[in-house]
Structure 1
Amino acid sequence: MDFSYSEEQRMLADSLRRFVDHEYTFAHRRKSARNGIGFDRDVWSNLASMGVAGLTIEAQYDGFDQGVESYLVVNRELGRGLVHEPVIPVTAAAAILSAYGTQEQKAEWLPGIACGDSIVVPAYSESGSRYELDSVATVALPAEEGYVIHGEKTVVWHAQVADAYIVSARLGSENGDIRLFLVPRESQGLDLVVYPTIDDQRAADVTFNNVRVSADALIHTQGAGDEALRVCINHGLIALCAQALGAMERLIEITTDYLRVRQQFGKPLAAFQALQHRVADMLIQKELAGSAIYIGIQGLSEPDASKRERMIATAKLAMIEAARFVGQQAVQLHGGIGMTDELEVSDYFRFLTMCDPIFGDHDYHAQAYADAMEE
């Protein structure tokens, strides 16, 4: 897999860098995060017009039909600006619709996703599931011309702005096969409890009180809904890793600039060798994470399940460790003001901290790697 940027990818990266630098400023991000929604429709439309939402969607559905390596190109730039729009969950949902959706579902939803008119996000996590995709208590009972879904999903990322959810549920009974359903947000009996996360984004607990959906809401995963959902999670996970890489890059730049300006004992902090070494360690950790993310991207198309699991877990583990180290070092090198609300440093630190629990934390992926090694 060639990770060098093509001319088109370089142009896209440059466009996103300019957009983040000039339009998605620190002040704009703070205002959007504190408006109670955490979402800016104009920003989302601009991102979609640049191809972000439809990056890997097939051209016949108005997408750009790019390979998965483009996740790094786009999300690295978005991570530098801590863009709060629902790029990652939409990427995950588009991946599963592209792989398992019926022709009718693709025709109905993928063009809208690609142009930014429709937002679809996965809703799979449940209370006590601890990232296990087969830990599902939500039930979908066959009913006249469709199904009735009853249950609750927790920490559904950007649920408040979604037009539909990809919901995992057991078909027929609490012991039935896990299947996936496309559930429109306006469905009767669907309730949301929205709350902010520590990085100023939004999530929600979504309750399905006997929500009725039509028969064509069923995504055809041939009974292996948890395996299909793994595809969705893996694509979202790699996009998240790429955003974390961009955030680490920008945070190191911010910290380096601060050390050059801040004076102590008549000289800039950057002149002290001990602090130079700490910045060098931050760079090393960031580069290690970047190399592991390349492995993870290759893992998305790896046919061997055990090897694929190891490659994806490697990317997430390296990212978590690097994000923790870079975030903590940046705060410490800024001193007491590093965690104040006045500086961007605290925003980057909180985002990098939240990267751990999303799509499986460090312990989960360490165990997943160990299990894959035994297979």
Structure 2
Amino acid sequence: MDFNFTDEQQQFRDALRRYLDNEYAFDARQKIVASKEGVDAKHWAAFAELGLTALPAPEAQGGFDGGPVDMLVVMQELGRALVVEPYWATAVGIEALRLAGDEKNNRLLERAAAGEITLAVAFHEPRARYDLFMVETTAQQQGTGFTLSGTKSLVQHGAQADYWIVPARLDGEIALFVVAREAANADVTEYRTIDGQRAATLVFNATAAVRLGDANTGAATLERIADYATFLLCAEAVGALDALNHATVEYTKERKQFGTPIARFQALQHRMVEMLIHAEQARSITYLAAAGLASDDADARRRAVSAAKVRVGQAARFVGQQAIQLHGGMGVTNEVAAAHWFKRLSIIETTLGDVDHHLARFASLPGFADTEV
């Protein structure tokens, strides 16, 4: 299987990297994190101009119909630069609208592709932990529309989103709904997460909503959206792992002990080689997940995504912990970028299922017990 990027993908990656290197340096990123808004409209407009918001959207709605490999290219660069703008949340929301195939939401897709609005999918509920289908939020039909009642937690960039995609129970079955941020009876509590991102708790109390797609396929669609979101997180983590490894090597070249750079110590060289191996294995399995994501076989998709999340999670923990140790006390200070890559990798490892959760999911899939070791 050929995983070399096309010329167009490489050019897109290079253009994005140049912008991030020039305009989204670490100090600039820290100012955005410390701001009241937690995001920067200027950078979001630049992302739209570069075509990032249009990339995952269907061509019919003004997008580029980008596939998993195209998104992998983008997410790696965003992970490398520790971007805090709501790109992941919006890209996942675009995928939700696309999978629903509901023509009445085409206008939302057009506006999202143009960068005019942002989206967020409310996956989590307070008591669900990683169980995607433990949905206690309920929907009631009111005339030709619907209302939602319930609570969604840890909605990444929920306070910045113009529209939320919300799973809820309709007559006992999971269905997806679109809720506008300005809808009445929707309470939003925003907070920072440890990685500098923003999240929110959403409380609905008979909040007006529009059903998205067919209620009978809501659970299957929700799982496909979650798998897509998980894959994007894995791709982001690969970029962060690359950047953290590079920063660690550079730091060990500068830090001296006993009159010599610690990069010359063989034991530390071996440790950094292990860090590189972990990152490369995470990259390989994430590339494999890009192929599995497009499979019509649901079990093949689940297997590929969960395997990637497991290996990426293991790499994130190992590389992050080793990088902090090699940086010494500086590694846990806010002034050093390594601490922020480690925090972001820690959040990615626990978002939409940690290593243990995805190991269990992988083991539960058909054929696992028959696999020869």
Give yes or no for the alignment of 1:182 onto 2:178: yes
The aligned residue for residue 6 of structure 2 is: 6
Report the alpha carbon displacement of residue 374 of structure 1 after superposing the two structures with TM.
Answer: 5.1
What whole-Å deviation, never above 9, does each CA across 1:295-317 have from its counterpart, x for those lacking one? Answer: 21112111222222111100100
What whole-Å deviation, never above 9, does each CA across 1:315-338 have from its counterpart, x for those lacking one? Answer: 100100001111111100011111
Report the alpha carbon displacement of residue 56 of structure 1 after superposing the two structures with TM.
Answer: 2.4
Deviates more, 1:284-293 or 1:64-73: 64-73
The aligned residue for residue 264 of structure 1 is: 257
Letter in 1 for 2:181: R
Tell whether the 8 Å contact from 2:170 to 2:215 is kept in structure 1 after alignment. Answer: no
Give yes or no for the alignment of 1:366 onto 2:362: no
The aligned residue for residue 208 of structure 2 is: 212
Alignment of 1:289-328 (within 5 A): 289-328=282-321
What SS does the corresponding residue of 1:198 show, helix, strand or coil?
A: coil
Structure-1 separation of matches of 2:27 and 2:56 = 31
- For structure 2, the 5+ residue unaligned runs are 369-373
Count of residue pairs brought into register by the alignment: 368
Structure-2 separation of matches of 1:169 and 1:326 = 38
The aligned residue for residue 194 of structure 2 is: 198
What whole-Å deviation, never above 9, does each CA across 1:127-178 have from its counterpart, x for those lacking one? Answer: 1112222211111111122111111101100011100000111114xxx111
What SS does the corresponding residue of 1:334 show, helix, strand or coil?
A: helix
TM-score between both structures, scaled by the size of structure 1 = 0.95
Tell whether the 8 Å contact from 2:123 to 2:152 is kept in structure 1 after alignment. Answer: yes
Structure-2 separation of matches of 1:167 and 1:105 = 14
Structure-1 separation of matches of 2:366 and 2:97 = 30
Alignment of 1:15-164 (within 5 A): 15-106=15-106, 108-164=107-163
Give yes or no for the alignment of 1:355 onto 2:348: yes
What SS does the corresponding residue of 1:168 show, helix, strand or coil?
A: strand
Letter in 2 for 1:92: V
Report the alpha carbon displacement of residue 373 of structure 1 after superposing the two structures with TM.
Answer: 3.9
Structure-2 separation of matches of 1:47 and 1:328 = 32
What SS does the corresponding residue of 2:365 show, helix, strand or coil?
A: helix
The aligned residue for residue 266 of structure 2 is: 273
Letter in 1 for 2:289: G
What SS does the corresponding residue of 1:159 show, helix, strand or coil?
A: coil
Structure-2 separation of matches of 1:71 and 1:62 = 17
The aligned residue for residue 219 of structure 2 is: 226
Letter in 2 for 1:153: K
What SS does the corresponding residue of 1:180 show, helix, strand or coil?
A: strand
What whole-Å deviation, never above 9, does each CA across 1:211-234 have from its counterpart, x for those lacking one? Answer: 123xxx211134121210111111
What SS does the corresponding residue of 2:121 show, helix, strand or coil?
A: strand
Tell whether the 8 Å contact from 2:238 to 2:283 is kept in structure 1 after alignment. Answer: yes
Q: What's the RMSD between the two structures over aligned residues?
A: 1.3
Structure-2 separation of matches of 1:264 and 1:2 = 44
Report the alpha carbon displacement of residue 366 of structure 1 after superposing the two structures with TM.
Answer: 0.9
Tell whether the 8 Å contact from 1:48 to 1:116 is kept in structure 2 after alignment. Answer: yes
The aligned residue for residue 338 of structure 1 is: 331
Report the alpha carbon displacement of residue 66 of structure 1 after superposing the two structures with TM.
Answer: 2.1
Deviates more, 1:365-374 or 1:152-161: 365-374
Report the alpha carbon displacement of residue 235 of structure 1 after superposing the two structures with TM.
Answer: 1.2
Structure-2 separation of matches of 1:185 and 1:101 = 22
Deviates more, 1:196-205 or 1:59-68: 59-68
